[in-house]
Structure 1
Amino acid sequence: MRRTRRIVTGENEAGRSYIVSDGPAPNYVLPAHSPTLAQVIWATGEGAAEGDDPAPAGHGFGFHSANGTILRVADFPPDEEYDYSRVENFLDEYGVRDTEKPRHFWFHKTPSLDYAICLEGEIYAMMDDGEVLMRAGDILIQRATNHSWSNRSGKLCRMAFVLIAEDEGSDA
């Protein structure tokens, strides 16, 4: 697992473009519920931090940002490295866990349109019925459906997610 390099552009007083910042994304967390490194690279809407940087170190994010977007990079270790009950407790906190006999411990449903991009490795995108193996370069359009991520490769998988809240005012 490694931090993502974040490069941010802007315009100076003369209207000329320049690089505002270039370095590791400041917002990252290795949560207690999971060995998944999660990094919010940028955010818009109600979940974004106030000030010049909408995703500074230490700013907490939910699954989505009401009336906006979140760009998140997540490193998924192999399934066997998880404490399943901790993941379920985390999903319960947000009220998104599938409690109807899910096929996998990560099954959840959020009211959002998510663009899921496999950057490195491989992972199974699981639905209630069926699944598909994603490899680097593959993109899944997740349309507010019940789903899960299963890494059966024995190696790390890096995913990028653009999360767009579907329900105005929803931050879950």
Structure 2
Amino acid sequence: MDWQSLRRVITDNSKEGRSRVLIDGAAAKLIAVEEAGLAEIWSAGLEEGKLLDATDRLAEADLKLEPDPGSVKVRWFSVAPEDASKSAEELDAAAAFAFNAVGAAHCRVDTARHPMMHKTASLDVIVLVKGEVDLLLDDGEATALKPGDVVIQRATNHGWVNRGEETALLVAVLIHAD
């Protein structure tokens, strides 16, 4: 995955009320292991007066899976093809490491179906940009999602699995939903 090729363009209004580019560049934060990872684009508070705050809240904050209470977060994330050579114990250890790294160990509420299953306190709008990925749920799955497909993930236990050969790239908008 070429994370450096991903570009975020954030707009703003000047003191005179004229639109302009505030940020034009790479992700605010990135965490990746081989082909899998996530890169933060933007976060904003949803309270009155916070949505248009020009502060890049992600630049100084620790990278976290879930948005803060009262906020929205936008990110890219990738799902590498599943490695059939890894044992169940290795997959579980890798998933535990990944969720710990983004402060989300508590999100792994039921991993019986797959080690990457997790449940966040958020409403997520997910768009598949590149590749193919399956959305696993407790009861069923949306198989072979294609680029352009949109998933509205409503605070349910889920996991993403890539059974293809190409790393999948997705964009997510996460809205805290406590």
TM-score tier after normalising by the smaller chain length: 0.7 to 0.9
* Structure 1 counterpart of 2:96, from 57, 81, 88: 88
Pair 91,53 (structure 1): closer, same or farther in 2 beyond 3 Å: closer
Is structure 2 residue 67 aligned with structure 1 residue 64? Answer: yes
Query: 1: CA distance between counterparts of 2:125 and 2:63?
Result: 21
Could you say which structure has the higher helix fraction?
2
* Structure 2 counterpart of 1:155, from 160, 166, 172: 166
Q: Hey, what does 1:140 align to over in structure 2? A: 151
> So what's the TM-score if we normalise by structure 2?
0.79
| Aligned partner letter, 1:147 | H
Aligned length: 162
Checking the alignment, whether the CA contact within 8 Å between 1:42 and 1:71 is kept in structure 2 is yes
Runs of 5+ in structure 2 lacking a partner?
none
Runs of 5+ in structure 1 lacking a partner?
168-172
Within a 5 Å distance, the mapping from 1:1-172 to structure 2 comes to 1-3=1-3, 4-30=6-32, 35-45=35-45, 52-56=55-59, 59-80=62-83, 83-84=90-91, 85-91=93-99, 94-99=105-110, 102-132=112-142, 133-167=144-178
Query: 2: CA distance between counterparts of 1:29 and 1:51?
Result: 24
Query: 2: CA distance between counterparts of 1:6 and 1:145?
Result: 28
| Aligned partner letter, 2:131 | G
4+ residue segments displaced more than 3 Å: 89-93
> So what's the TM-score if we normalise by structure 1?
0.81
